[in-house]
Structure 1
Amino acid sequence: FWVVVVPVLACLIGPGFLASANWWWLVAFVSLYFAFWFALAFLVNSFSLSSNLNAMSLIFLWLLLGLLVPNLLQTGLSQAYPIPSRIALTTAERDATNRYFEKDGQLLTKEVFNSPRALIRQASIVTPGMVYGYGVIVAKSQVIKDQATRVAEDQLYGQIEKQQAAIRRLQLLSPALLLQEVLAALAGTHWHQFNAFSRDVDAFRARTQEFFYPKMALESTYRTFTVTDAQAIPQFRPQVYADYNWLHLGQALLLYAGVVLALGLLGYRKLLYASR
């Protein structure tokens, strides 16, 4: 298998991937996956059953470990840690904003636009006072929306994190599930990595709001924006999100290698006893 794959990849993307740790983790886990099914087939065949029974047994084991166990785990975890819908998140955000503007928001709007500086004397002209007034309303409404969204998102991501933690604990029940988790982490597309990036983006958005909204909503700064302010605009500083140390690949590899070795030894012992 690797004799075919490696030259093809080297021709397509160059040989540089051979020096990466991700490649060798990939080789180790894919080879172990193949070895698991070979050892399991060796064990089944060691019982000296008919070819039909061997085939049926291997098909059943493949369906059980490759399809049924991952799907049953996913279904069970979805029941144990139900994930609220995105619609519920949006509804909570909208309801919180509406509740605010039904009472406190109306008072704020009246206070802002009754100020002589914020009065709109000519609807066709955008005055600095209009910018200030709308800035106050936008800033305050966004704060209310963020508070509602934070509660809903904490509930949403909290349930997903519980599901992911349970999957990491139970992934050894299925070689297919283990390989799926490992490949996603090595590719940098695992939910854990996406969540780390998403959290950083949310933090950056909050810093940006904290910088810009006072410029619109404070009386002392709504008409000023200097070169110093421009230089102080927050910058997004991405971290390394492709890290997979949290997955403990070495432990999983050794444990599954032990399972493969045990299956091989059981099959070998069975053949020895059958030959006597």
Structure 2
Amino acid sequence: MPELRATTLVDAPLRTVAAALLDARLLARSIRGLGVRIGGGPVLYVGAELAGSVGPVNGTLLVTRADTTGVSAELVGGPLPRFVLITDLLHTGGGTMVVDSVEWTSPGGPFGRLADVVVGRGLALKVLQARASAVSARSRQLVGAKVVVGAAIVRDGLLLAQQRGYPEHQAGCWELPGGRVDPGEDDHTAVVRECDEELGVAVVPGEQVGPDVPLQADHLLRVFRADLVRGEPQALDHRAVRWVGAAELDGLDWLPADRVLLPALHELLEPRD
């Protein structure tokens, strides 16, 4: 089974580099000129399917991991028995080490020989180098990004979600409560204010949940667990609010950025000893 690996040291915090990895649009653009095509949504999340091609080899890449440890995706429904892209992140004293690798298994016969040429070491190395360059550049952009906070409010094993009524292309989709951090605020202060403005409740924010998620070119979504201490949530700025159990999480039509957080939200709803 052929395998190729490349490492890059990025001068940025691990969470920032992890956020850069989740930006599907940037990485797709970075490798387009190499004969590699990837189509999908704006961010990578577990379960996302990306239509892709490497030269004449077509298939669908299924994202199997997307968090602060890195990103993994494997080819499904394509001609190769196995094709896996893996990016692992490691914190070091000098920055974040990005370890990119690609592994594939070629079928036998003439097509197998063709696949080894098309997905060969030369092209694979160029893909990894392009990914590394894109991640480094995007990480530098995100170091000074503005923050949009979100609140993962949990009560009795249920998570509070709210449904957007606008803009038109997002109407009906679900998201966590929150909004932009105002000048002079820290993240926790912004969570408290946004929950008061959007829901009419008082909360106490705690630890961060899941990775930072890239939004616009210079914005990140950062979500914190929050405990409800006063009031009953109301849809003051949204179409509706509801309490959601773990079994319902995946079935809601989440905005892409919030969908990235579903694995972490599932962990948040798991019973604690």
Shorter-chain TM-score bucket reads under 0.3
What is the TM-score of this pair, normalised by structure 2? 0.23
Bigger RCO of structures 1 and 2 (CA < 8 A, at least 6 apart) = 1
Q: Which has more helix, going by share of residues? A: 1
Q: Which has the larger radius of gyration?
A: 1
